[in-house]
Amino acid sequence: MNNHDHTAFNSGDNKGKKSQAQLKALSAYLRRNTVSRWMAAIALNIPLQNVCYAIGELRKSNSVAVTKNGRCAISGRFVEFLTTDPDKFPKSNQLILPLQ
């Protein structure tokens, strides 16, 4: 029998409320700072796994963008630097064709 807790991110229980609060805190932090996932996790004292999940949720609604790839100040690896500030989103290099 499978007894794993598969509580939804936005559920009404305390675990869901905590996750929702972390998502809001992360979104606000990424609006002011362009950082890697790990840098955000350390700055906000949120587990890295929760940050990665929250970024996935933000991507579903196109609320987060990668501004550059660079060296993480914590891991030293080349990683994505993220933002939720629409003014910092990279401009598309795709041609925009008029609809007919």
Report the chain (100 residues): mean pLDDT per 10 consecutive residues: 42 68 96 97 96 95 95 95 94 69
Between CA 41 and CA 18 the distance in angstroms is 15
Task: Work out how many domains the chain is built from and give that number.
Answer: 1
Report pLDDT for 99: 67
Whether 37 is covered by a domain: the verdict is yes
Both tokens of 84, joined, read 């939720």
Any idea of the CA torsion for 59, 63, 67, 70, to the nearest 10 degrees? -50
Report pLDDT for 77: 96
Whether 55 is covered by a domain: the verdict is yes
Report pLDDT for 91: 84
Whether 66 is covered by a domain: the verdict is yes
Between CA 91 and CA 25 the distance in angstroms is 26
Report pLDDT for 17: 85
Between CA 22 and CA 17 the distance in angstroms is 9
Whether 99 is covered by a domain: the verdict is no
Single pTM value for the model: 0.75
Domain that holds residue 44: 14-87
Report pLDDT for 15: 63
CATH number, domain of 80, equals 1.10.10.10
